[in-house]
Amino acid sequence: MTRFVVLCFLIACKGQAAAPTADATPVAYDTSCQHDWQCTPAPACCPTPCTEDVINVKDAARASANLNCDPARQCMSAGGCRTFKYLCLEQHCKLSFAGDPAYRERETEPAFAPANE
């Protein structure tokens, strides 16, 4: 049964990953942070649960603008993962799973945050 499920998954995913073009170069986004509320998952053509692509919210609009999604591409809608949070760890936005040593409650943004943070 497991082989059947894996085979179905592989067939369903065939052709789902977009091949990079010759002129495509990875774009670096700001992952620095001081607080958890500054971290958000990076925009993607096909968002995935608990992505490791975590960026500073200041760069989210630029990341969205840089997306070049194929409208004909079908995204997988199934999936999930264990409990996680997007946290500011070691001054970088990161994904942290429940049970990880650094996993904790996420800081909430104060109602009035200083402008320089």
d(C-alpha 58, C-alpha 46), whole Å: 21
- Helix H or strand E segment including 61: helix 60-65
Q: Residue 66: its pLDDT value, please?
A: 93
Using CA atoms, how far residue 70 sits from 6, 44, 83, 106, in Å, is 26, 11, 31, 34
Report domain extents, the chain.
Answer: 30-66+78-107
pTM of the model: 0.70
DSSP string computed for 12-32: HHTT-SPPPPTT--PPP---B
Please give the chain's pLDDT, 117 residues, in tens. Answer: 433 333 333 333 333 333 333 345 668 999 999 999 999 999 999 888 889 999 999 999 999 999 999 989 888 876 778 999 999 999 999 999 999 999 999 999 888 766 655
